[in-house]
Amino acid sequence: MPYTIVANDSLQIIEISYRGTITGEDLQKAAIERIAASKSNSYYRCLANLSGSTLSASLLNIHNLPEVQFEEEAMNIETKIAILTHNEDEMAEYFASVSRNRGWKVNTFTNRTAALEWLQTK
pTM: predicted TM-score of the whole model, two decimal places:
0.93
Q: What is the per-residue pLDDT for 86?
A: 87
pLDDT computed for residue 88 by the predictor? 78
Domain boundaries, the chain: 3-120
Q: What is the pLDDT of residues 24-66, one digit of tens each?
A: 999 999 999 999 999 999 999 999 999 989 889 999 999 999 8
Phi first, then psi, for residue 70 (nearest 5°) are -60, -40
Q: What is the CA radius of gyration of the chain?
A: 13
Count the residues in the chain.
122
Q: Strand 80-84 relative to strand 105-109: parallel, antiparallel, unpaired?
A: parallel
**Coil/strand/helix, residue 45:** strand
* pLDDT tens figures, 74-92: 999 999 999 999 887 889 9
Q: 3-120 domain in CATH 3.30.750.24?
A: yes
CA distance 19 to 26: 11
